[in-house]
Amino acid sequence: MFSRAIVRPPSVNLGSGLTSAAMGKPDIALALHQHALYCAALEQCDLTLTHLPPDADFPDSTFVEDTAIVTPFIAILTRPGAPSRQGEVAALAATLPQFYSSVHSIVAPGTVDGGDICQAGDHFFIGISERTNEAGARQLAAILAEEGYTYVTVDIRGVAGILHLKSGISWLGDGRLVLIDALARHAAFRDYEIVRVDTDESYAANCLRVNDQVILAAGFPQFESAVRALGYPVIALDMSEFRKMDGALTCLSLRF
Ligand code: CIR
């Protein structure tokens, strides 16, 4: 169960952030509206939110998930792989000690983006990507192992179309993983029940189980039906403006 989340609204220059999507510039008013609905959905799932102030020095800072890895028991500040994002971590370094007695850190030459880290119960999938390097993965793995978690690394550098591991995988709980086709046969996922996402709906693979509900991106009817058929109450949210900046549902919060 999660009880809290940290969120950070987009700043006016969201459109100056990093992106590989050729989908045009985000509409800031609409992005703020979508962010407000996202926050409301988390509250509907019984989370108490901490709102960090927007920061125009860091146009990607709304994607707060990349700056820390949090569980109900431990917190780890990351060192994001994109140099333009490394300064985002300071705000989390100032905030997390309210909730944790000690806070770990990834240090140079390691880099880790939270979007590459998928927790599945007591087990972690650690994506090695253009953002998360092997040194960062080793540091993270050592911290997790010390805390009693198990882990496996998943190299996604050859997987087309995903920025982070969690662009292609989500943990639904109940032994179930949501996976894009390109990851579905990977050995790391062999012991799980797999909910596959069709290639034309692959953006929907990033979804968010929060307590009893599943928050998913609106506009992907096959995936939404599959999740409903499994019996989960669903909240569907329009993510259009964040998608333009390679962002998806999990990126917009840290849940613990
Ligand atoms: C970036 O490229 O870093 C941002 N524009 C998007 C980050 C998305 N974060 C995530 O998937 N966890």
For residue 137, the model assigns a pLDDT of 98
Does residue 90 have a pLDDT over 90? yes
Ramachandran angles phi, psi of 154, nearest 5° = -130, 115
CA of 41 to the centre of ligand 1 (A): 20
Give the predicted TM-score (pTM) of the model.
Answer: 0.97
Q: Looking at the predicted structure, is the pLDDT value of residue 72 above 90? A: no
pLDDT at 222: 98
Q: Are strands 176-180 and 169-173 parallel, antiparallel or unpaired?
A: antiparallel
Judge whether 246 and 226 are in contact, CB under 8 Å.
Answer: no
Per-residue model confidence as pLDDT tens digits over 112-160:
999 999 999 999 999 999 999 999 999 999 999 999 999 999 999 999 9
45 and 213 Cβ atoms separated by less than 8 Å: yes
Q: What percent of the chain has pLDDT over 70?
A: 100
Q: What is the mean pLDDT of residues 77-83?
A: 98
Long-range CB contacts (within 8 A, 24+) of 40-45: 41/215, 41/235, 41/237, 42/5, 42/7, 42/210, 42/215, 42/253, 42/255, 44/213, 44/235, 45/2, 45/210, 45/211, 45/212, 45/213, 45/215, 45/235
For the residues 158-170, what does the mean pLDDT come to?
96
- The closest of 170, 211, 235 to 72, measured between CA atoms, is 211
76-96: average pLDDT: 98
Mean pLDDT rounded to a whole number for the chain: 97
First to last CA, the chain: 8
Query: 151 C-alpha to center of ligand 1: Å?
Result: 22
- C-alpha 246 to ligand 1 mean position (Å): 6
Q: Which helix (H) or strand (E) holds 95?
A: helix 89-95
Residue 63 beta carbon below 6 angstroms from any ligand 1 atom: yes
What spacing in Å lies between the alpha carbon of 62 and ligand 1's midpoint? 9
User: What is the average per-residue pLDDT within 26-31?
Assistant: 98
Give CA–CA dist 151/12, Å, rounded: 38
Is the Cβ atom of 127 under 6 angstroms away from ligand 1? Answer: no
Taking residues 21-45, what's their average pLDDT? 97
185-217: per-residue pLDDT in tens?
Answer: 999 999 999 999 999 999 999 999 999 999 999
Whether the pLDDT of residue 21 is over 90: the answer is yes
Q: Which atom of ligand 1 is nearest to the CA of 248?
A: 11
> Coil, helix or strand for 229?
helix
Structure tokens at 256: 């613990």
For residue 122, the model assigns a pLDDT of 97
**Which atom, in ligand 1's list, is nearest to the CA of 251?**
12
Give yes or no for residue 184 having a pLDDT over 90.
Answer: yes
For residue 103, which phi and psi values (nearest 5 degrees)?
A: -125, 125
Annotated catalytic residue within 35, 118, 164, 207: 164
104 is catalytic: no
What mean pLDDT is predicted for residues 19-46?
Answer: 97
Report d(CA 138, CA 153) in Å as an integer: 9
